[in-house]
Amino acid sequence: MTDVESDAASIVDRRGIYYQAFDIYNSIGGFYDYGDIGLRIKRNIENAWRNVFVDGLSAFEIETTIVMPEIVFKASGHLSTFTDPIIKCATCNTPYRADKLLEEYYEKKGDRDDMARIRKMSKKEMEDNINENRIKCARCGGKLTGVEDFNLMLKTHVGHKSDDVAYLRPETAQGIFVDFKNLFRIYGMKLPTVISQAGKVYRNEISPRQQLVRLREITQMETELFFDPDAKLENVGTVNMAAVLESKVNFHGSGEKNEHLATISQLLDEGKLPNKYFAMLIYLESKLMEKIGISQDRYKFREIEKEELPHYSLGNVDLEIRTGYGYIEVAGNAYRTDYDLSQHAKTSGSDISVVNDGRKVVPHVVEASVGEDRLVLALLDSNVQNGEDRGWKWLKLNENVAPYRFAVFPLQKDQELVEKARSIHKMLVEKRVSSYYSESGSIGKRYARADEIGVPFAITCDFDTLKDDTVTIRDRDTTKQIRKQIGEIL
């Protein structure tokens, strides 16, 4: 199932955390399904994001449609600019993403300078570099030729007319932008205001690979912060700007060889971050990493080169996490200015301006767009433990994202122990505490299975439980056990 063995790959495969969709048909790639454990982890990540970005910013959360008319993406510029460089094999016609081929080639050589150069290359320069370095088709060994722009939009048709063209959205943001004026009026919003959305987006990836890194169906969690660029800075939600400015992040600036620890205040002074609202999003992403259990030494914020900037942006900073695949981008932060709202106003003929402090204004936008699937992969990879002392790999997951808080076991298949253990499991479920029950296999194997998926605590009912209503609670991280009364478990 995997392209390479990431640290967590064996657990992912064995426990069905996620897996290739419609695998029995050996069909199209870039689509993954989640099993029960993976879905629970994914939902917990989304809930953590919601706590930080929705509740923390007092945001309005909405859900917009996945299928959108062509006119939306003409206005946004996606039809003309949402592209990746494609190159094909002259013999078997297999397509490849040209920039990624070069990145992988230079990464294997350990040549970071040339890796950085790729982002500034023209299509002709990419093709020349591929040929000069004798990079061939992985399928047949043929020559790769002709780098072209490939639009990543997935096209469909709505209704019976073949000319009713629509697209599966490539980002959730456009739904927010086209709804903005109505939402602002209906909910009585005032600037600055925040609108968030989590949901599926679709990108026709040229050569999907590396499990959840390059997908065609993606779950995205996006936050759009609307503000008046001519008004004074205001606090948003519960976020304390003093705390934002004092916080430190690992930052990799444009043109720099390595990342360094810097305060957000320093990055603003140096012009590395475009404004304080943008800085707020960087701060919140670091809080999200802390909340889900990814340590600061595993990730960095990378300033995007001017040549890489999307068509709508005056400044981008990516959040990248170190994994078995190297650093992968899990979030993109962009200063979109008033580009999207102005384009939709122009194309639709609608007035999308709002009144702020007695002035009509088209708000500017800063955006935090988090890829939930990549974050799942990075979270697992960042927290897998070799377990040489235990004899099995296990996941040291934060309680906020673990699939269950408790595992409940009878020591053995004794009828009274089984009934008692099931009653404890029932009590936890009724209190809305995540728990699973198992009586299959030896108690050691059950502990191993719980460790493997990151369950923080295992509750075991033994024969003393029947006498005094106490149970043993085993800590996943230390393997130490303590006895507690059943009523004191929570």
**SS3 per residue for 282-329:** HHHHHHHHHHHCCCHHHEEEEECCHHHCCCCCCCEEEEEEEECCEEEE
SS3 (DSSP) at 352: coil
The pLDDT score that the predictor gives to residue 5 is: 53
Give ranges for CATH 3.30.40.230 in the chain: 83-151
The pLDDT score that the predictor gives to residue 297 is: 96
Q: How many CA atoms lie within 13 A of 121 on its CB side?
A: 24
423: left (phi over 0), alpha (psi -120 to 50) or beta: alpha
Distance CA 172, CA 202 (A): 10
SS3 (DSSP) at 345: helix
Instruction: Dump the DSSP string for 192-237.
Output: SEEEEEEEEEE---SS--TTTTS-SEEEEEEEEEEE-TTSPP---T
- The token pair at 250 is 């690992």
The pLDDT score that the predictor gives to residue 318 is: 97
Distance CA 176, CA 224 (A): 8
Q: Residue 410: is the preceding peptide bond cis (ω within 30°)?
A: no
Residue (of 372, 405, 48, 70) closest to 213 by Cα position: 372
Residue (of 99, 72, 97, 76) closest to 87 by Cα position: 97
Domain 9-71+168-382 has CATH 3.90.226.10: no
Q: Which CATH code is given to the segment(s) 83-151? A: 3.30.40.230
Question: What residues contact 246, with CB distance under 8 A and at least 6 apart?
Answer: 263, 264, 265
The pLDDT score that the predictor gives to residue 4 is: 42
**Full pLDDT tens readout for the chain, 490 residues:** 344 456 799 999 999 999 999 999 988 899 999 999 999 999 999 999 999 999 999 999 999 999 999 999 999 999 988 999 999 999 999 999 999 999 889 888 888 778 878 878 999 999 999 999 999 999 999 999 999 999 999 999 998 877 789 999 999 999 999 999 999 999 999 999 999 999 999 999 998 888 999 999 999 999 999 999 999 999 999 999 999 999 999 999 988 888 999 999 999 999 999 999 999 999 999 999 999 999 999 999 999 987 777 777 888 999 999 998 889 999 999 999 999 999 999 999 999 999 999 999 999 999 999 999 999 999 999 999 998 899 999 999 999 999 999 999 999 999 999 999 999 999 999 999 999 999 999 999 999 999 999 999 999 999 999 999 999 999 999 999 999 999 999 9
Distance CA 25, CA 27 (A): 5
For helices 276-292 and 36-49, the axis angle rounded to 10 degrees is 140
* Cβ atoms 274, 306 nearer than 8 A: no
Distance CA 54, CA 49 (A): 7
For helices 339-348 and 173-186, the axis angle rounded to 10 degrees is 80
Burial class (CB in 10 A: 0-12, 13-18, 19+), 329: middle
Residue the block writes with tokens 């962009």: 334
The pLDDT score that the predictor gives to residue 110 is: 82
- The token pair at 129 is 């570099």
The pLDDT score that the predictor gives to residue 2 is: 40
Give ranges for CATH 3.30.930.10 in the chain: 9-71+168-382
Residue (of 474, 36, 55) closest to 291 by Cα position: 55
* Cβ atoms 315, 301 nearer than 8 A: no
**Domain covering 404-488, topology:** Rossmann fold (3.40.50)
Instruction: Dump the DSSP string for 392-405.
Output: S-EE---TTT-S-S
* Cβ atoms 261, 400 nearer than 8 A: no
pTM of the model: 0.92
SS3 (DSSP) at 372: helix
The pLDDT score that the predictor gives to residue 165 is: 93
For residue 240, the 8-state DSSP code is -
Give ranges for CATH 3.40.50.800 in the chain: 404-488
